[in-house]
Amino acid sequence: MSNEITYLQSPLNKSRKDKFSLVFSLPASLRKIISKYERGEAYISPDTMQFSVYGAVVPSVDIPPVNVRYAGQTLAASSHSREAFAPNTVNFTIDNRFNNYWVLYSWLNLLNNDKTGVYDENELVPIIHGGDRNKLKQNPNLEYRSDISIFALDEYNKKTVEFVYTNAFPISLGGINYNYRDPGEVESSFTYSYSQFVVKPVLSL
């Protein structure tokens, strides 16, 4: 068997920091809110949102060691246990109709209503207000969560690797800075918590 490595591209090619895209599908309960709104010529899509993001988009992965005493010495061994992931914050550019900002605001509003201060004010989550209770009884909180994917792109803007954050939900939405002397793009950020972090190579290159 040959040990020769065959490169499909130049080994000198490097990934770029400005080549990341964040994608997620809205939780079913949130789609009921989003689909009600029409902005001029088109509805705000309730299915998938896509963001151009920058910042610390990929967390560190830690499986710490433990010290094991053996024969008068201390040996290092794996704990075989992952540390809990800290919430992840990404920066994004707001679109010209503030649709992506409003969707994130609505997601947070589902978790805590801006007027009443309660969860699921509009009674959209089936586990609490009817629906298939048996389907969600193992983990009813999944109804407001969704997997978030961040894709790294190559120089031709093709997806090369997918970073998946499972059972994610937003916990904060960043502010917006106004400056009439700066004609640049409007930017904000949001922070989300999640259960697991999975890396998948994109095979259809």
pLDDT band per the 50, 70, 90 thresholds, residue 53: confident
Structure tokens at 17: 């920091």
Of 59-63, 165-169, 176-180, which range is least confident? Answer: 176-180
Q: Which residues of 47-60 are buried (b: 16+ CB within 10 A; e: fewer)?
A: eebebebbeebeee
Among residues 114, 117, 136, the alpha carbon closest in space to that of 125 is found at: 136
pLDDT over threshold 60, residue 80: yes
Structure tokens at 111: 């978790």
Tell me the C-alpha to C-alpha distance, in Å, between residue 151 and each of 14, 62, 161: 15, 21, 6
- 125 versus 140: the higher-pLDDT residue is 125
* Cα 140 from Cα 155, distance rounded (Å): 41
Q: What is the pLDDT of residue 179?
A: 78
Residues 6+ apart with CB under 8 A from 48: 23, 24, 25, 26
Structure tokens at 33: 């809110």
Structure tokens at 131: 């629906």
Q: What is the pLDDT of residue 33?
A: 72
Give the tens place of pLDDT for each residue, 85-117.
Answer: 999 998 888 888 888 888 899 899 988 999 999
Q: What is the pLDDT of residue 2?
A: 46
Number of H helices, E strands in the chain: 4, 11
Structure tokens at 1: 């068997």
Q: What is the pLDDT of residue 140?
A: 54
82 and 144 Cβ atoms separated by less than 8 Å? no
* Cα 6 from Cα 11, distance rounded (Å): 10
Cα atoms found within 13 Å of the Cα of residue 22, Cβ hemisphere only:
25
pLDDT band per the 50, 70, 90 thresholds, residue 142: low
Q: What is the pLDDT of residue 204?
A: 66
Q: What is the pLDDT of residue 198?
A: 94
- 144 versus 131: the higher-pLDDT residue is 144
- What value does the mean pLDDT take over residues 21-44? 69
pLDDT over threshold 50, residue 11: no
Compute the mean pLDDT over every residue in the chain, rounded to the nearest whole number: 78
Q: What is the pLDDT of residue 154?
A: 81
Q: Domains, the chain, ranges and CATH?
A: 20-201 (2.30.110)
Most confident of 2-11, 24-33, 62-71: 62-71
